[in-house]
């Protein structure tokens, strides 16, 4: 089938290009070896086999034209020619085998054993055919069964399945394989026709055989392009699936962390509150005792343990609090004295010395006094807990560059550097079970951050740990006249109403809370009325002016229906004068809705649980309407 006319020369050039493209494809797949999947490696092996086969037949083609008259050296039946033909047919059979096996691996389709060792069978059979068959035309015919079956099956595997997104690369490869199977069927027909009719070289039956290198080149280039597209699309799909899997795992980890945090919170609350609750339940039974002394003792214990529970809830509510803390210009020395006085008995019982150094000059800062006291209490409690008898805990206060610094240093074991970043995380503690909950330092950091300060831990000069807290200072407050008790609306002709005539509306959906507030307010001299919802309160307040029926309103924020926030917004539209006479109470200022409301509400907001004394401090500050 080798000719020296123009067609033969063009076929020879096409064969060389086809051989070159095969090795270029090998180079592409070799470059992907680090991340190659099994099907990519099989396609690389396919083009290696194809490159070997085409190289062999190209060398045979060149030798045939160089030694045209030397039949003994390059004849069809010579040993050298048989060697080239064996390499050619064996390489082509290996190409078919690895190509189809790679498609089957990609699409998880059934195929003969996929072990690469089995490729020796088709390669060996092809090499045997190259030796046995007399002409290259017969070799083309012999390849048809394996090639046609494999290409058609691979094209079927590459078809999109129901619910599967289409793939341009798979469509290209499937089309090329189907067309190539038909082309080789046409080669077979032409080979048979040439063999039966033995036409002259220029007849129509021989032209397709003379152009097979050109046709194979075109199909091979398109096939290689389709395979490259498949590889890139599969790589993108795999990366996308990996990203989705990472997102899923990250979400799962976040959920697990949330569950662990929730479990830690539940464990912390249970650990902290169960002890005082046990005391409350135990002494509650003594409240029905006939002995007045027993009842008085029980009432005192119940009140003390309830205050303890309230403090625990308050500390927990400070974690992650989004509402800015209520601030008050406070003398540093006065706050420091309160904290130290409260701790002196505990230090004395433990045999630990507490040394305090205050600022040289009076200093003020604009803070939440209760919160800062709680922070310093946590630090001193931790220092006392790690100190042994005879140790010294130092509390030093200094000022510099507009900041006041508190240093709490102990002589305990200290904090290892590897723990200094995590020690402020909620529920993380190095203490044993029952010795710590991991919220004290987390609360301290939350408070300090809310005040625009910083907190850090280091090594104390005498061993142990030192905690440094820095908070901004402020100018000394200017004394102001004591406000008129009558309020801004009172005049000489309109004196404030007597305390016993003040009228209070209590709005809360919890009957026991309403009853408690009404009882305490009545004892304090208020006349009270109750409303169990925002809608009921709106009906009582609509169309009335403050002082007509009520002088003040205490309203819960979270209630079914309208709720306290809805009542506030309705009154702001229809009767804004009522908002100056309202106090809102809530058990949750950490929710987004409550935090947003606190940012825009000008009325006082009191956090549950609270004593009536705290509420009463807010109520007299409300303006008193004129009477007359």
Q: What is the pLDDT of residues 444-482, one digit of tens each?
A: 888 888 888 999 998 888 788 999 999 999 887 765 444
Position 487 scores a pLDDT of 39
Position 628 scores a pLDDT of 34
Backbone angles phi, psi at 502, to 5 degrees: -70, 140
pTM, rounded to two decimals: 0.45
The answer to whether the beta carbons of residues 348 and 385 sit under 8 Å apart is: no
In tens, the pLDDT along 361-395 reads 888 998 888 778 878 888 888 888 888 898 999 99
Residues 6+ apart with CB under 8 A from 533: 507, 509, 559, 560, 561, 562
Percent of the chain predicted with pLDDT > 90? 11
Top pLDDT among 202 and 523 is at 523
DSSP state of 393: E
- Give the model's confidence band at 58: pLDDT under 50 very low, under 70 low, under 90 confident, else very high: confident
Buried b (16+ CB within 10 A) or exposed e, 178-192: bbbbebbeebbebbe
Position 7 scores a pLDDT of 56
Helix axes 369-385, 332-350, angle to 10 degrees: 30
> End-to-end alpha-carbon separation of the chain, Å?
125
Does the pLDDT value for residue 3 go beyond 60?
no
Does the pLDDT value for residue 153 go beyond 90?
no
- Which DSSP helix (H) or strand (E) runs through 80? helix 79-107
In tens, the pLDDT along 75-127 reads 666 788 888 889 988 988 888 888 888 888 888 777 656 667 778 888 888 88
Fold category of 328-472 in CATH: Heat Shock Protein 90 (3.30.565)
The CATH superfamily of 499-618 is Response regulator (3.40.50.2300)
Residue range 6-249, CATH number: 1.20.1070
Residues 6+ apart with CB under 8 A from 597: 557, 565, 568
Domain boundaries, the chain: 6-249, 328-472, 499-618
CA distances in angstroms from 397 to 130, 156, 339, 537, listed in the order given? 97, 82, 13, 50
Position 318 scores a pLDDT of 62
- Give the model's confidence band at 335: pLDDT under 50 very low, under 70 low, under 90 confident, else very high: confident
In tens, the pLDDT along 260-305 reads 767 766 766 676 677 678 778 888 888 888 888 888 888 888 887 7
Position 272 scores a pLDDT of 63
């Amino acid at each position: 089938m080798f000719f020296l006319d123009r067609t033969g020369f063009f076929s020879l050039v096409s064969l060389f290009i086809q051989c070159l493209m095969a090795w270029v494809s090998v180079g592409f797949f070799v470059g992907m070896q680090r991340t190659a999947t099994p099907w990519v490696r099989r396609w690389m092996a396919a083009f290696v086999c194809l490159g070997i086969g085409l190289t062999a037949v190209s060398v045979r083609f060149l030798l045939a034209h160089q030694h045209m008259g030397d039949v003994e050296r390059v004849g069809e039946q010579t040993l050298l020619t048989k060697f080239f033909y064996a390499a050619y047919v064996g390489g082509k059979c290996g190409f078919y085998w690895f190509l189809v096996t790679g498609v089957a691996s990609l699409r998880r389709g059934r195929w003969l054993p996929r072990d690469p060792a089995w490729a020796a069978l088709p390669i060996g059979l092809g090499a045997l055919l190259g030796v046995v068959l007399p002409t290259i035309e017969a070799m083309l015919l012999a390849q048809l069964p394996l090639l046609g079956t494999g290409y058609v099956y691979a094209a079927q595997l590459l078809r999109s399945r129901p619910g599967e997104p289409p793939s341009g690369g798979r469509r290209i490869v499937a089309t090329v394989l189907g067309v190539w199977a038909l082309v080789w069927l046409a080669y077979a027909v032409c080979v048979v026709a040439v063999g039966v009719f033995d036409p002259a070289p220029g007849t129509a039956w021989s032209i397709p055989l003379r152009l097979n290198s050109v046709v194979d080149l075109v199909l091979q280039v398109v096939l290689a392009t389709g395979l490259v597209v498949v590889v890139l699309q599969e790589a993108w799909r795999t990366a996308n699936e990996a990203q989705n899997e990472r997102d899923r795992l990250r979400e799962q980890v976040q959920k697990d962390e949330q569950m662990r945090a929730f479990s830690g919170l539940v464990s912390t609350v249970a650990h902290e509150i169960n002890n005082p609750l046990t005391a409350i339940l135990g002494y509650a039974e003594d409240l029905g005792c006939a002995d007045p002394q027993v009842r008085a003792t029980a009432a005192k214990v119940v009140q003390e343990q309830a205050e303890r529970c309230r403090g625990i809830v308050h500390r927990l509510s400070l974690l992650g609090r989004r509402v800015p803390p209520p601030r008050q210009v406070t003398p540093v020395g006065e706050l420091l004295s309160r904290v130290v006085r409260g701790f002196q008995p505990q230090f004395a019982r433990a045999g630990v010395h507490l040394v305090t150094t205050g600022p040289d000059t009076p200093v003020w800062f604009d803070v939440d006094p209760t919160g800062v006291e709680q922070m310093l209490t946590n630090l001193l409690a931790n220092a006392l807990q790690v100190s042994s008898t005879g140790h010294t805990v130092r509390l030093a206060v200094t000022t510099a560059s507009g900041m006041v610094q508190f240093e709490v240093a102990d002589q305990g074991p200290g904090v290892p550097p590897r723990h200094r970043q995590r020690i402020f995380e909620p529920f993380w503690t190095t203490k044993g079970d029952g010795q710590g909950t991991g919220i004290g330092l987390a609360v301290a950091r939350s408070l300090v951050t809310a005040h625009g300060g910083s907190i850090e831990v280091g090594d104390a000069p005498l061993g142990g740990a030192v905690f440094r807290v820095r908070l901004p200072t402020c100018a000394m407050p200017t004394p102001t006249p004591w406000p008129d008790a009558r309020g801004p609306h009172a005049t000489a002709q309109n004196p404030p109403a007597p305390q016993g005539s003040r009228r209070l509306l209590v709005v809360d959906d919890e009957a026991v809370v309403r009853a408690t507030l009404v009882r305490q307010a009545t004892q304090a001299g208020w006349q009270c009325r109750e409303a169990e919802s925002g809608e009921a309160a709106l009906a009582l307040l609509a169309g009335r002016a403050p002082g007509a029926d009520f002088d003040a309103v205490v309203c819960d924020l979270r209630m079914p229906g309208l709720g306290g926030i809805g009542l506030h917004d309705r009154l702001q539209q229809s009767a804004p004068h009522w908002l100056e006479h309202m106090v809102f109470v809530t058990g949750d200022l950490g929710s987004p809705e409550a935090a947003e409301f606190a940012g825009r509400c000008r009325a006082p907001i009191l956090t549950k649980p609270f004593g009536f004394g705290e509420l009463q401090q807010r109520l007299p500050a409300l303006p008193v309407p004129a009477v007359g």
